[in-house]
Every structure is written in C-alpha cells, then in structure tokens.
Amino acid sequence: MKRLYVTIAFALCFAYILTLLAISHVEAADGLVAAYNFDEGTGSSTNDASGNTNTGTLLNAFWSSSGKNGKAILFNGTSSRIDVNDCNSLDLTTNITLEAWVKPTTLPTGFRTILHKERANGDSYALYANHDINRPSGEIFTASSYSEVTGTAKVPVTTWTHLATTYDGTKLRLYVNGALKETTNKTGAIVPSSNPLRIGSSVVWGEFYNGLIDDIRIYNRTLSRAEIQTDMNTPVANNSADPAIVGQWSAPVNTSGLVAQHVNMLSTGKVLIWDGDLPGGAGGLAATILDPVNGALTSVPNNNTNLDCAGHAQLADGRILAIGGATREGVPGVKDVNIFNPANDSWSIGADMNYNRWYPTGTTLANGKVLVLSGNDGCGDESCRISTPELYDPDANTWTQLTSALHEIPLYPLSFLLPNGKLFVAGTYEYPIPSYTLDVATQTWQTIDSREFDGASAVLYNKGKIMKAGKATAPFISSDPSSTATYVIDMNGTSPQWRETASMNSPRSYHVLTLLPDGSTIVTGGGRTQYYADTAQAVKEAEIWDPTAETWTTMAKMTNPRLYHGTALLLPDGRVLVAGSGRLSPNPDQENYEIFSPPYLFKGGRPTVTSAPGTVQPGSQIFVGTPDAATIQTVSAVRVGAMTHSFNADQRYLILPFTQTTGGLNVQAPGNVNEIPPGYYMLFVVNANGVPSIANFIKVPQAADVPVPPSTTLLGNETVESQDNTNAGGSPEAFPFIAAESGMTNTMRIFVSNTNTATKIHVGLYNTSGSNPGSLMTSAVINNPINKAWNTVALPPVSVTAGTKYWIAFMHPPQSGNIQVKVKASSSGDGSQVSSVSNLTTLPATWAPGPNFPTSGSSTYILE
C-alpha cells in the first residue's frame, strides 16, 4: 500500500575504499537472532537455525525442493505467510541486519513482503522484494516516521537475488547481491512491537509475495558488506554444536559387565536393569539397579529364572512383573513369573503361567490385572507362538486363560490400553500385521485396519493416539533396508485408520521410541538394515518427533551403536537413558549406557515444584505448588517405563488440564481409569520455553470397592456410611466440622455415591457466624465426579485454627443431575444446614441460614 514518509536529507556520500582485506572472508554468525534454511521440507513449522527458538508457523505456505541452497518455501501471492511469535530477541532497536534469498514467480507493482516485524498499524522493520516504485527496499520506523532505502532496479523474476538491509543507528542501507545500492542518514531507535514477525506477507497491509524465499537471516548488529557477501555464499546451517538445537550426549558409562537388554523405571527414581545371555552361563539372572543421579550400581541378582527376552509390566503398587524368559541353559520359553519389589530391592516368585513364553508382551489394565499376549513356547520358530492370552491377578496371584480369545500374533506385540477399555495391538516387533482390538471382557477380537503397516516401536502419545515408526526386525539376518516410515492412528474416532506422516530422516530397525515430558517423542538407535549386527549401518543420531507438526528433527549423535537388545528410558529429570545392544555374536556387547539431554534442557532454568500429592485418584483435582505457575504451559504425566526389544509397553503420555491459583496450579486428573491405569507416573510441569521440571512421582491406586480415607486431616476424619444424601440442584448444604489442627488447607475430598448423576459439584469452606455458616473462605468445582470413589479437588489455600468450627458446603447447579454423597452422624453435634436461598449456580459469598438436620454429617475431608 502507499505510505507517507518523512523526507530525509541526504548527507554527502562516503567513499568506500575497497581493499583485499575488506573483501576477504568474514564470519557473520555473531549476533544472529533468527535464521531459516527451510530444509525441513515437511510439516507446519520451520526451525530457527540460530538456536533462539524463533520457530515459524506456515500458514498456507508450501515446501519446495527448489531452494537456493537445498529447500525453500513457496508463497502463492494471495494468502501465504509464515508467522514467528514475538520474542525479545526480535525486538531490535539500533542495530539490525535483514537478509534473504528471493526468487519471485511474478512481481506485481506495489509492496511485496519478505520480512515484516508488524506493529498494530505498520511495521517496526521490514525487507521488501518490491516497493511501490518497483524496486526492492528496506524500511524501519523510528519515533513517528518511516525511513526507507531502495534498489536501483526491479528484482528479476524466476532468478535468485540476495537482498539485505542494515541499520546502525545513524545510517540505513540496502544491498542487492552483496552490492550497496543506497544509503540514507537516519538516527533514533526503531520502535519495537509485541506483534509477530511475518514472512511473505503482513496482516496489517497484506502485500503478499509470490515466489520462493530461502536462507533468511536476522541479526541484532549491523553487518559489513564483506560479512553480507560471506552470508551470500554460505547456506544457513543448523547449529549442530548447539545443544539448544540438537541436544547433548554424555560419554558412555560402564555397566559393570552387563548389557542392559531390559530396563525398568522404578518408583524410587532408579532403574532396574537385567541382562540376557552372559558369558559363563549366568544368563538373565544378572540384574542391577542404576541410580541415574550419581551413577551408582547395586547388584540385585535374580536367582530364580533366566529373564532373557522376558516381558515386563508395572503393577499397580509399583512392583515389576517379569513374564517368562528362558531356561538356564538358554532354551527359549518358560512359565516362570518373577516380581521385583523396589521397596526392599528383592525378587520373589509369582504363580506360573499356563504356557511357556519367550518374547511376550504384558499390558496393565485399568483393574490392575496384566494381560499377556504372544510369546514362543520353546521350539524357537513361528510354529510355537502362543495363541491363548492369559490374565494375571496380582492380588490373588493367579492366572486365567482367555480360551475364547485365541489369536496368533508375532512376538512382542505392540499393545496399548485404550480409553474404551479395549486392548489395541498396533503391530509387533517381529513382523508387520493388521491392527486389532481385544475386548477382554467378552474375549472378542476386532480388526481395526487390515493393512499391514510396519513399525517395530510405538508410543501412546496422547489420549487414544498411537504413533509407530521404522521397520520390524524379521528376518533378523537380512541386509534388506530398514524404513523411515511413520504412521499415526486416532483410536478415539468411529472408524480409525493408520495415516502416514512425515518420515524419519534415517531408516531404522531395532530402534526405540521414548515419550518426553513436553509431549514429543525421541527415537534412538537402530540400523539402516534389518541385520541385527550391522554396526556399519547403525544410526547414531537421535531424532525428535513433534506431535503437532508430525515431523522429525535430527539431534546429536551418540557414541556407540545400539542395535538388537538396545534400550531407552525416560528419566525423572527429563533426560533419556540409552543402553544395551549385543549379546548375540557378531553384534558387539555394549556394556555401557549413554544419557541424552534433549534441547529443552538448554533453554533456560527449570520450573520448580514445591509440593505435589503422592497419590492421585482418577478424576480428582490436585494442587501442585510452584512459584512458576504463571509460566507453565503444560502439565503432563508420563507412566514409568518398562521396556525391552524396541517397545515400552507401559509408557503413556497424559496431558492434564490445569488452572492457575494462589501458590501453584489446580490440576485435573483423567476420570476415565482406562486413560490412567493404576501404577506410578512421573508428573512434570513444563514452562513456555518447553523446559520440564524434575518429575514428582505420583501413584494412581488400584480401584477398590471401599476406598481408604486419608490419614492426615485438618477437618474431621469421617468414614464412609451407607446413607445417601440427595439435594436439589442449586440448593447448597453445609456440614460442620471442628478443625483438628492449625495450618493451611488446600484440598477437599468427598465420597460420591454410586447413584450420583451430577456432572458438577461445587464445594466450599465457610467460617462460623453464631450457630450458622458465615462467609465463604475458599471454594472449587469438581467436574465430572467419579461415582463410588473419593473425589479430590484443590482449593485456594486458607488458614484454619485447631478447635474452631468450620462448615463444608456442597451443591450442584440446576439441571446438572442429582448429587448424592455419603453422609453419617454429625461429628460436631450441630448437624447440617440447607441454605434458605435456592436455585443458585454457585456457592454464595455469605450463607443464608435455612433448615437444620441435627443428625447429618458428610463423609468429607479437608487435607493439608
């Protein structure tokens, strides 16, 4: 569009003395605040190669393989742009350099945007491929006026041209293909803006560019002509040494003669490791505990069974279930069950299965039982796969065969518990197969997708959503190429099907997918062929998958190859343990581990968690104390891992909704027990920079018919009684309690009856006015309460005094069902009181006294 400019008087031209020194190679990387090479080639975002995380989001812009250097972005001239959110690093005031390669398809008259740091009604700074006088231009806005410099000729179409503009606080310059075209005098600071940086167009004026753009650079200093010429001849490269972009590996650490074929995260924060076929016949009896904080190794040998190629599962109480394995002589397939208890670092023997199993998969269900699929019974070939699933009850220590659910599945199935309670088999470690679900209750299988998409490793990366990648391992000794293919499926839909997304950058078999606290997934290890010992084809670079863009980014390279028997595990501090590989000649034994620190650990300080509950009931609301509440972007729970042979059957990623409150966050746990099966999880808070806290371990208990009340209370310690209390919608009722202790309270629990139909329950704490409830001290809402269970909700903290009477009130809004909670005889002798005001949508600030019920008290707790 046409703009008004303040006329700038030209000063005398300065003479530029061109010497060999002036035009020699000069490094320009210092002061780089954003850079884009667009070499991703896929996805909806483009990475900032400067390391400052100024990621761009593509909006109707298109990837092109015809870049000036590698790939580029194609803009359509009518609706395309890239948005980069505002950041302090982009708020440039007195020193600036903007550069880009452009290749217009067409270049109509008028402004055509390359870079535009937008203000509400203009720009702070900009670089244009075309001006309204049909020349390229650079532009800044200082105080209340624009200044610009322009080229001497129109940029040619279908030809690559390098444009650059600089400002040093006194002069604004424009360069075309490294040659200075115009200089104008200008003083003053550029007016900053909190609006995004736009590439290819602006929102305020449009001014769409039509053509290719490549190798953008933005500096917070003024580059010389020699430096600009260097940039022209140097493609934008990812900063491969910057750990904020590619992460960082530790040096390998010895594991005292063990190959970590099997790794399990314990509720103590330590890692249980066991080996397979050790020299001298020790086999899978050798086990150790690794403390990832200090590297200490503690031997915890299993004297019962050779756990080589066993299955794993975490039980509801945090014990590790080891399923099957081999004989001490190394013959595949045993019925043995071994259980490791992290409370005392001891092994015990569980009841035998009904079948010998080697290479089975165990999946923990919502009721705490473990379903076991597949496995080889000892003959070592495909004819010996076990077709009968078995169900382990850890409370009774018994096994039940699912004889109506016979189904032959290749070894180490990739199985997940779905939100609907069914088991989903996404593939196998051994071969690609169609995808199925198993209804455990009815013992029926259903084909979900009959197509046989490959993928030897898989993750449940969000509610009901699975991603798998790479190639299965059979025939094991083949030199056939591996695969880069990546697939996702959303099992929340009515007709779910696998969908292929952007491929990994390296083909892999024998790799491991591991979920990270920020919701991304890292792939480590593997090889470019299916040959289990081809170390020359080992992939040492990690890659991280973005679940939003569904694209992979290559990370730093580890030291050792990780092929067959390679493992990986998320640690509580957000790092990733990578270990194993070997124990089958000629694959070298890797008796060591390496630890990968993802890029998010180099993007500023961690958020801090000062308090979190140790136990979280499904459907409860919990309070997480943190002084960093205002910066938190995500609260996640990652189930602790139990993995071997490319697959972690236990890991799952949960996004927990939250709201900010005084002193921290109110966090909502899923109410569906199939989404959050019992066991231990690592609770992370992640800030706006993507940096996770150090995890707090939380236990999701196994559902019980009679829930156990909390032991530490401030107000009352009631037990669940048989009487149901039912109130009309919008009619609050308050129950008196005498505070047992003085202190701050921030949590309430009420026991909701099995017949409750209310979808919201408002709860609050009142002080006492005379013999009635008085003023509301604190309150919260329980959304979607869980019936026949204790429902926990976080409250804004308030202080209570021992021996003082308070009132716990609850109600549900009109038209939201019928609330029913368990009640008993009053502990204070005063009984409950119903408000005289009804049809309320929220608890009143001041109580309106109403009818009394002298013998009624609620099964309600206020916790510290």
Three-state secondary structure call for residue 172 = strand
d(Cα 714, Cα 864) in Å, to the nearest integer?
Answer: 6
d(Cα 568, Cα 247) in Å, to the nearest integer?
Answer: 16
Structure-token pair, residue 330: 């190394």
How many helices (H) and strands (E) the chain has is answered by 2, 66
Ranges of residues in the chain whose predicted pLDDT is under 70: 1-29, 239-240, 277-284, 380-382, 703-728, 753-755, 788, 815-830, 853-864
Three-state secondary structure call for residue 89 = helix
Structure-token pair, residue 240: 């491969």
The amino acid sitting at 755 is T
At residue 248's C-alpha, the angle toward residues 242 and 252, to 5°, is 145
d(Cα 542, Cα 247) in Å, to the nearest integer?
Answer: 9
d(Cα 274, Cα 289) in Å, to the nearest integer?
Answer: 9
Three-state secondary structure call for residue 248 = strand
d(Cα 393, Cα 440) in Å, to the nearest integer?
Answer: 14
- Looking at the DSSP assignment, which residues form a beta bridge with residue 609? none
Q: Which domains does the chain have, with CATH numbers?
A: 32-239 (2.60.120.200), 248-602 (2.130.10.80), 621-700 (2.60.40.10), 724-863 (2.60.120)
Three-state secondary structure call for residue 636 = strand
Please report the pLDDT score of residue 150 as a whole number.
95
d(Cα 644, Cα 429) in Å, to the nearest integer?
Answer: 10
Classify residue 604 by its DSSP letter: S
The answer to whether 669 and 620 are in contact (CB under 8 A) is yes
Three-state secondary structure call for residue 382 = helix
E strands, 517-570, in order: 521-527, 541-546, 551-557, 566-570
pTM over 0.75: no
The answer to whether 828 and 736 are in contact (CB under 8 A) is yes
d(Cα 131, Cα 174) in Å, to the nearest integer?
Answer: 13
Q: Give the number of other CB atoms < 10 A from CB of residue 764.
A: 25
Q: Give the number of other CB atoms < 10 A from CB of residue 76.
A: 17
Strand pairing category for 398-401 and 262-265: unpaired
Long-range contacts of 489-495 (CB under 8 A, 24+ apart): 489/426, 489/435, 489/448, 489/449, 489/465, 490/464, 490/465, 491/418, 491/419, 491/424, 491/448, 491/464, 491/465, 491/466, 492/419, 492/463, 492/464, 492/465
Classify residue 481 by its DSSP letter: B
d(Cα 753, Cα 447) in Å, to the nearest integer?
Answer: 38
Classify residue 476 by its DSSP letter: S
Structure-token pair, residue 738: 């005498």
Q: Is 119 exposed, middle or buried (0-12, 13-18, 19+ CB in 10 A)?
A: middle
- Looking at the DSSP assignment, which residues form a beta bridge with residue 332? 326
Among 224, 190, 250, 256, residue whose Cα is nearest residue 21:
224
Please report the pLDDT score of residue 278 as a whole number.
55
Q: Is 771 exposed, middle or buried (0-12, 13-18, 19+ CB in 10 A)?
A: exposed
Please report the pLDDT score of residue 494 as a whole number.
87
Among 484, 310, 422, residue whose Cα is nearest residue 435:
422
d(Cα 692, Cα 658) in Å, to the nearest integer?
Answer: 16
Please report the pLDDT score of residue 720 as a whole number.
41
Please report the pLDDT score of residue 492 as a whole number.
92
d(Cα 616, Cα 115) in Å, to the nearest integer?
Answer: 49
Alpha carbon of residue 405 to chain centroid: 34
- Within 8 A by CB and 6+ apart from 108, the residues are 77, 130, 210
Order of strands, sheet of 509-515, starting from the edge strand that comes earlier in the sequence: 509-515, 521-527, 541-546, 551-557
The answer to whether 310 and 240 are in contact (CB under 8 A) is no
d(Cα 39, Cα 70) in Å, to the nearest integer?
Answer: 6
d(Cα 452, Cα 472) in Å, to the nearest integer?
Answer: 11
Among 318, 273, 320, 346, residue whose Cα is nearest residue 697:
318
d(Cα 102, Cα 585) in Å, to the nearest integer?
Answer: 54
